Amino acid sequence: MMRGATMRRAGPFRALVIFAATAAVAAPAPVAAQDANFLLPIAEIERVLREGDIQVLGVQPSRGLPGERTYRVTLQSGDHVLGVKYAPAGEGADEFNNRPRYELAAYDTQALFLDEREMVVPPTAIRAFPLDVVRATVAQAGDAGAAIPPEPTFDEWPMTLVALQYWMFNVDVPEELPDDDRIEEDEVYERLLGNFNLLTYIIGHSDSNEGNFMQSMDPAWPRVFSVDNGVSFASEESNRGTEWRDLQLDRYPAAAIDRLRGVSLEELQARFGVLVQFEIRDGNFVEVEPTENLDPGRGVRRDAERIQLGLTESEIRAMHRRIVRLIERVDEGRYELIP
């Protein structure tokens, strides 16, 4: 069994987190499913991801290629079978395209202007697992597993931080993004795509690699999801394109813009300065209520018994500048609003 952080942190959608069901193991029929892409209500996904005892049922590379750094892991917790993207952190938890704090910050950012039904980043969480548990999990991928076994995130402790993301149903890589013809014909699609683009713009998403964005196959609610947000904020750019770092559309939802108008720098500092904090309890790291920011100039902070992950002061200011610039452009008439 895998044991990790206790649910303490109050996240954006009642402490949303990252997980998803996969086809690797047949999942039970949805119970009170939220929509076509989530087999359980978000609150129940959160509970499992944040505090559930977890049994690993199956492991394979996320994209089916040997030596990947992320895995599609099928988990069981109580009566629930869930699939997750399982991404062990590297040494120091702050490497290019492997910064768990960016994944969690992207997930939290959407709550600034979207409701749960509109979310475009799947539930995401960070947990601290013993190193031997992480190595045993990755080893289940067999010859397709990691070329180098996971290492301790920090040399002084035999544990690894792992980013977890819900693996959704009924989604596929979009054939065309944006689909200009559909924008003209389907205002629901246009609205949902606008939400997606606002998120990628605010976080400075800088990796348009195929597979980082997924399209819901639900014709009545065709959301576009951003499922890999590790190259965002102050990250170096990917060589696969950065177009979704910018505003790509002519119109954006008025409701989302109105909510962003009320976002202050002080609110962003309070919400993103410390995204998650772990402390040693009985020899294991568990999630606790965040305390004062240990060092606003660093994204990964630790002392003798604590680990904090958050955005740096400069990353938060850059996010605020992007929001201010967006509102200015709307007020100048450069973008229309969808009522």
Using one digit for the tens of pLDDT, what is the confidence trace for 205-216? 999 998 999 999
Nearest Cα residue to 71 out of 128, 121, 6, 20? 20
pLDDT at 16 exceeding the cut of 80: no
Of the pLDDT bands very low, low, confident and very high (cuts 50, 70, 90), residue 51 is confident
pLDDT at 18 exceeding the cut of 80: no
Least confident range of 21-25, 130-134, 198-202, 282-286 = 21-25
Give the pLDDT confidence score for residue 234 in this predicted structure.
Answer: 95
Taking only the tens place, the pLDDT of each residue in 310-334 is 999 999 999 999 999 999 999 999 9
Percentage, residues of the chain above pLDDT 90: 78
Percentage, residues of the chain above pLDDT 70: 90
Of the pLDDT bands very low, low, confident and very high (cuts 50, 70, 90), residue 63 is confident
Of the pLDDT bands very low, low, confident and very high (cuts 50, 70, 90), residue 83 is very high
Tokens for 126?
């960070």
pLDDT at 24 exceeding the cut of 80: no
Of the pLDDT bands very low, low, confident and very high (cuts 50, 70, 90), residue 9 is low
Taking only the tens place, the pLDDT of each residue in 244-276 is 999 999 999 999 999 999 999 999 999 999 999
- The 3-class SS string of 56-97 reads EEEEEECCCCCCCCCEEEEEEECCEEEEEEEEECCHHHCECC
Give the pLDDT confidence score for residue 207 in this predicted structure.
Answer: 95
CA 244 – CA 16 distance, rounded (Å): 24
Q: Are 73 and 83 in contact (CB under 8 A)?
A: yes
Give the number of C-alpha atoms closer than 13 A to the C-alpha of residue 237, restricted to the C-beta side: 7
pLDDT at 19 exceeding the cut of 70: no
* Choice between 38 and 51, residue whose per-residue pLDDT is larger: 38
Taking only the tens place, the pLDDT of each residue in 99-121 is 999 999 999 999 999 999 999 99
The mean predicted confidence, pLDDT, of the chain is 89
| Range 59-85 average pLDDT | 90
